[in-house]
Structure 1
Amino acid sequence: MVNTITIQEFLQRAKQLPVLDVRAPKEYEAGHIPAAHSFPIFDDQQRALVGTAYKQQGHDPAVLLGLDLFGPRMSGFVKEAGKLAKDKELLVHCWRGGMRSSAMAWLLNFSGFKVHLLEGGYKTYRHLMLEQFSKPRKLLILGGLTGSGKTDLLPYLQQLGQQTIDLEALANHKGSAFGNIGMPPQPSTEHFENMLGIQLLQSDTEQPLWLEDESKTIGKVVMPIQLHEQMQNAPAIVINPPKKLRIYKLAQEYCQTDKAILEAAILKIKKRLGGLATKEALIAIAEGDMEKMVEIALSYYDKAYHFDLAKRQHVLALELAGIEPEENAAQVVQFAKQNNLL
């Protein structure tokens, strides 16, 4: 017997059981439940054929075509499911909890698996994720100029008992023209929302949540509007280590990077830097003078950050002597407590 369950129970069970997403590969790639395995009942071309048959010929011919495509692959599906679910218990979903997931659930149940089917499918999951971004939260924003080491502080804040979410880690981008260097490909905005939504769902809304200050986009990923508005209105602690340490830190990060990648990053901000500064930055890259290149780039990024910071209502500046993340995280927590933010 197939057990149909709510999204809340589905996510709870997904902590222990494999999740099979039976949508087409393109659907999965656009966004999926983070724990899910791609287990398509149809490939992209087959899905298009069935969809066309439904529109042109109606329900019954589309079902028959689907069965023709599904039938020869049944044994393969059962074998693959067995590799993923050693105890023969698993979770299944499609887009709306319709024919695709029902067919897969029937097959696996018939083959001896205990199957839990998501009521409403992935669409229900998306609704739950989107709800997370408009929930009121006690946000604390960690700000700072480029190279101040904000991201590095987050794991140490966690060690000090603070709730944090690393937005840049989820987006696979550090938020500047140089932000994709050394990072994996970025997820789609939809999948970024899925990963972020899960972390928000698991957080305690009664306790402060630290987020790094971000613009409306992180690389090509777009921040959820409702959450970003909350972030803009939340108190921000802006850390400020000495500029020479910021330059040194960034120069060390980029010194092993291919020069062509750095040149491309500088050219992305050419209009903002101006012709002369761009030329000087490119010469510095060619000569391997990364500190000079970073100093030139920061002339733009520092000005842009101060411009954005001026839009905030509640900003607290914290001067730091060094850039060591564990020590700075402790100072940030102490500073937040002194200012009645914790």
Structure 2
Amino acid sequence: MVHKVTINELLTTHAALPIMDVRAPAEFSHGHIPGAYNLPLFTNEERAQVGITYKEQGRDAAVLLGFDITGQKWSGFIKEALNQAPGKKIAVHCWRGGMRSGAMAWALDFYGFDVYQLEGGYKTYRKHVLEQFEKAYPLQLIGGMTGSGKTLLLQALRNKGEQVVDLEDLAQHRGSSYGSMNHLMQPTQEQFENNLAQSLAKLDPNRRIWLEDESAMIGKCSIPRSFWKQMREVPLLNISIPFEQRVNTLVAEYGSLDKSFLAACTGRIWKRLGPEQTKRAVAAIQEDRMADFIREVLRYYDKTYTTGLNNRPPGSVMSVDFDHTDAAEQAAHILELIAKHEHTGN
């Protein structure tokens, strides 16, 4: 039987169902529902061919071409669906909930599947995603200069039962010129938004949500504007770590990376570093003086962070000084401070 379901029904009542995205591979790669798998009715080339036929010859000709193309594929589609949903209960969608998902739903229903077809397709899912960023969330930001160990602190807070959204993990980037770490592959902007919306949907909207203070861009991924605006307006807990401890942290994190990668990344910010500072930083990389390299670039990143900190609303920043980098101890201390602050209102 084929059931038509809304996006809210799919993501709540039927959240456990395997989701089969029948769009072309290029469409799926550009953005998809997290956790869905791709079973394309057409290849990228076939989809383009059907589209041209539809435009030039009309719907009937395009439908016939579609059946010609998929004629030998149907048993393969059904076998793959069985691999993903051996219990024969499955959700399907295409771009707008039209012919492609309709054809797949019909075939699976004919074989004996219980099929849930998404009304409006992926297009309605994207509308749902963008709506999530317009909501108000009880955000609490963790800030601090580069090398303060904010990511480890977020992990420690999560270990203590706090709700955390790790934006850098979702963006697969550490947020600086060196943020790809020479191996991370960023998702598309659309997929980043999909992943962020899913992360937010998993959380209790009545409990605070911890995030790291970020600029509007994390590598090539842009934090949705309305959500980032909210991040700029909520309280910031600013972590202060001694300079040399931050240098040591960054040497341990970046010091073993390929020298040509580090030099190239440094070259990309030479206008902001200045020619002499860039020259000294690159020389330190080449001579394996990683602490000196870190000290040179930190001057730029510290200045940039301080500027952003000063632009936040007055009274929205609480600073906490630490003389150690034990994330678990930091998290415990911060939670005590927050509890005291909430109790006294000061």
Query: TM-score, normalization: structure 2?
Result: 0.96
Q: Distance in 2 between matches of 1:230 and 1:8?
A: 24
1:309 aligned residue: 309
After TM superposition, give the deviation of residue 286 of structure 1 in Å: 1.0
| 3-state DSSP of counterpart to 1:193 | helix
Matched, 1:33 2:33: yes
2:326 aligned residue: 324
- Structure 1 stretch displaced more, 64-73 or 94-103: 64-73
1:191 aligned residue: 191
1:211 aligned residue: 211
Q: Distance in 1 between matches of 2:161 and 2:333?
A: 14
1:333 aligned residue: 335
Q: Distance in 2 between matches of 1:199 and 1:205?
A: 12
CA RMSD of aligned residues (A): 1.4
Q: Distance in 1 between matches of 2:293 and 2:177?
A: 13
Q: Which runs of 5+ in 2 are unaligned?
A: none
User: What letter corresponds to residue 247 of structure 1 in structure 2?
Assistant: V
Matched, 1:85 2:61: no
**Number of corresponding residues:** 342
Question: Pairwise mapping of residues 65-214 of structure 1 onto structure 2 (< 5 A)?
Answer: 65-214=65-214
Q: Distance in 2 between matches of 1:41 and 1:106?
A: 13
Q: Distance in 1 between matches of 2:340 and 2:216?
A: 30
User: What letter corresponds to residue 292 of structure 1 in structure 2?
Assistant: D
2:253 aligned residue: 253
1:267 aligned residue: 267
After TM superposition, give the deviation of residue 183 of structure 1 in Å: 4.4
Q: Distance in 1 between matches of 2:240 and 2:33?
A: 38
Do the aligned partners of 1:172 and 1:183 also contact (CA within 8 Å) in 2?
no
2:3 aligned residue: 3
Runs of 4+ displaced beyond 6 Å = none
Do the aligned partners of 1:147 and 1:249 also contact (CA within 8 Å) in 2?
yes
Question: Pairwise mapping of residues 229-308 of structure 1 onto structure 2 (< 5 A)?
Answer: 229-308=229-308
| 3-state DSSP of counterpart to 2:284 | helix
Offset from partner CA, 1:62-112 (integer Å, 9 cap, x none): 111111112121111111112111222211111111000000011111112
Distance 1:166 1:183, change over 3 A: farther
Do the aligned partners of 2:182 and 2:261 also contact (CA within 8 Å) in 1?
no
| 3-state DSSP of counterpart to 1:72 | coil
1:22 aligned residue: 22
- Structure 1 stretch displaced more, 164-173 or 13-22: 13-22
- Structure 1 stretch displaced more, 106-115 or 218-227: 106-115
Offset from partner CA, 1:93-148 (integer Å, 9 cap, x none): 11111000000011111112221111111111111111110101111111000010
Q: Distance in 1 between matches of 2:338 and 2:44?
A: 51
After TM superposition, give the deviation of residue 303 of structure 1 in Å: 0.1
Q: Distance in 2 between matches of 1:115 and 1:184?
A: 37
User: What letter corresponds to residue 309 of structure 1 in structure 2?
Assistant: L
After TM superposition, give the deviation of residue 9 of structure 1 in Å: 2.2
User: What letter corresponds to residue 286 of structure 2 in structure 1?
Assistant: A
Do the aligned partners of 1:25 and 1:44 also contact (CA within 8 Å) in 2?
yes
Q: Distance in 1 between matches of 2:255 and 2:231?
A: 33
Distance 1:153 1:182, change over 3 A: farther
Query: TM-score, normalization: structure 1?
Result: 0.97
1:50 aligned residue: 50
After TM superposition, give the deviation of residue 2 of structure 1 in Å: 0.7
Percent identity, please.
Answer: 46
After TM superposition, give the deviation of residue 338 of structure 1 in Å: 2.7
Q: Which runs of 5+ in 1 are unaligned?
A: none
Q: Distance in 1 between matches of 2:333 and 2:239?
A: 10
Q: Distance in 1 between matches of 2:13 and 2:263?
A: 48
Q: Distance in 2 between matches of 1:121 and 1:168?
A: 29
